[in-house]
């Protein structure tokens, strides 16, 4: 071995020893540090310090987010609620305004329409009333004139036809039906008394022999007529008298011309029915009937076969 190397070997051995010792010391130091870190890790993590810290931090941030979210949610809900309330208020105000405006416009239109309708109705009623009044007046005038003309016509017709109708009824009862009971009510009471008195004087002796009062018999017979006990004999006698004048009086017609002989007296003549046409020959035989009018009974026969009023006791 070289002498230089021999000198270096102890030095290197010493240095290596030092390095080894340093390494051992460093290893121990590192191991100590490692152990301390392990202990700290065990303390921090193994005993929940760091996890709890982390969990606490996470929980805090989570809670913070929840609270923040709740704040923003409540804020949003509040804004939405305020907006909805504001919108509802605005909408209610608008609806109220629109309803009021619509009601006012509708009321105004209805008032205008009713006013126009009322005015039209008033004008129409006024016109109708005016026209109705004029029409009624004109109608009343014409009705009055027509009524007066009708009354005059009816009066003339009644004046000239009513007596003739009574005469026709009397002639029909006597000469066609041979019924004195039907003819009796068509005679006025004085004529009944006249015929009863005339008949009674023809059998006055028999009446007195039977103890009858002639005046009472005449009055009762004139009033009761067919109801009187002596009616059959009286009616038969009177019928013979009438038929003795003519047998065919009922085939004739009353004359159109009636002779007024008193305030309530007219003469109606019965003449034969014309064979042709309507003209009655001037030389036709005529049977006169004197007719009298009373408000109670109308036209009645006052004399048959004569033109003057008969008097009791003068046949």
Q: What is the DSSP string of 3-40?
A: HHHHHHHHHHHHHHHHHHHHHHHHHHHHHHHHHHHHHH
Give the CA distances from residue 253 to residues 102, 161, 167, 269, 300, in Å, rounded to whole numbers and listed in that order. 89, 12, 10, 8, 18
What's residue 156's pLDDT? 42
Domain assignment present for 62: no
What is the chain's pLDDT, residue by residue, as a tens digit (315 residues)? 556 666 667 777 887 888 888 778 877 877 887 777 777 766 666 656 666 666 776 676 677 667 767 776 776 777 667 757 766 776 777 677 667 766 765 776 676 577 656 656 765 676 566 556 655 665 665 565 465 444 434 444 444 578 989 999 999 999 999 999 999 999 999 999 999 999 988 888 887 777 888 888 888 988 888 998 889 999 999 999 998 888 778 787 887 678 898 889 999 988 877 666 556 665 666 789 999 999 898 999 999 988 999 887 655
Domain assignment present for 237: yes
Give the CA distances from residue 236 to residues 35, 70, 107, 179, 226, in Å, rounded to whole numbers and listed in that order. 183, 139, 95, 10, 12
Domain assignment present for 236: yes
Torsion-angle region of residue 225: left (phi > 0), alpha (psi -120 to 50) or beta?
left
What's residue 152's pLDDT? 39
Regarding whether 169 and 40 lie in a shared domain, the answer is no
Regarding whether 42 and 169 lie in a shared domain, the answer is no
Phi/psi at 262 (nearest 5 deg)?
A: -170, 180
Domain assignment present for 52: no
Domain assignment present for 210: yes
Q: pTM (2 decimals)?
A: 0.48
Number of domains in the chain: 2
Domain assignment present for 297: yes
Domain assignment present for 95: no
Q: Are residues 148 and 235 in contact, defined by beta-carbon separation less than 8 angstroms? A: no
Regarding whether 165 and 296 lie in a shared domain, the answer is yes
Domain assignment present for 202: yes
Range of the domain at 9: 3-47
Integer Cα distance of 312 and 198 in angstroms: 8
């Amino acid at each position: 071995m070289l002498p230089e190397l021999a000198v270096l070997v102890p030095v290197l051995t010493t240095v290596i020893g030092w390095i080894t010792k340093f390494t051992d010391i460093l290893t121990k130091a590192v191991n100590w540090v490692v152990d301390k870190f392990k202990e700290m890790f065990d303390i921090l993590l193994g005993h929940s310090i760091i996890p709890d810290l982390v969990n606490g931090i996470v929980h805090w941030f989570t809670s913070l987010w929840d609270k923040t979210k709740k704040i923003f949610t409540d804020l949003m809900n509040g804004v939405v609620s305020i907006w909805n309330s504001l919108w509802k208020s605005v909408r209610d105000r608008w609806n109220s305004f629109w309803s009021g405006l619509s009601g006012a416009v509708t009321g105004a239109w209805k008032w205008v329409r009713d006013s126009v309708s009322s005015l039209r109705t008033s004008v129409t009623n006024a016109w109708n009333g005016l026209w109705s009044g004029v029409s009624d007046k004109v109608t009343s005038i014409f009705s009055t004139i027509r009524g007066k003309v009708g009354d005059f016509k009816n009066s003339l017709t009644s004046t000239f036809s009513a007596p003739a109708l009574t005469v026709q009824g009397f002639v029909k009862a006597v000469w066609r039906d041979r019924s004195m009971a039907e003819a009796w009510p068509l005679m006025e009471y004085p004529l009944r008394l006249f015929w009863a008195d005339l008949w009674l004087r023809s059998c006055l002796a028999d009446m007195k022999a039977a103890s009858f009062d002639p005046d009472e018999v005449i009055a009762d017979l004139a009033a009761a007529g067919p109801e009187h006990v002596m009616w059959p004999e009286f009616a038969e006698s009177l019928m013979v008298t009438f038929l003795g004048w003519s047998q065919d009086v009922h085939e004739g017609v009353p004359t159109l011309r009636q002779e007024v002989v008193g305030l309530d007296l007219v003469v109606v003549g019965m003449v034969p029915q014309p064979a042709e046409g309507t003209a009655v020959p001037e030389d036709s035989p005529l049977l006169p009937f004197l007719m009298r009018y009373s408000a109670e009974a109308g036209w009645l026969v006052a004399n048959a076969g004569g033109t003057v009023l008969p008097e009791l006791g003068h046949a």
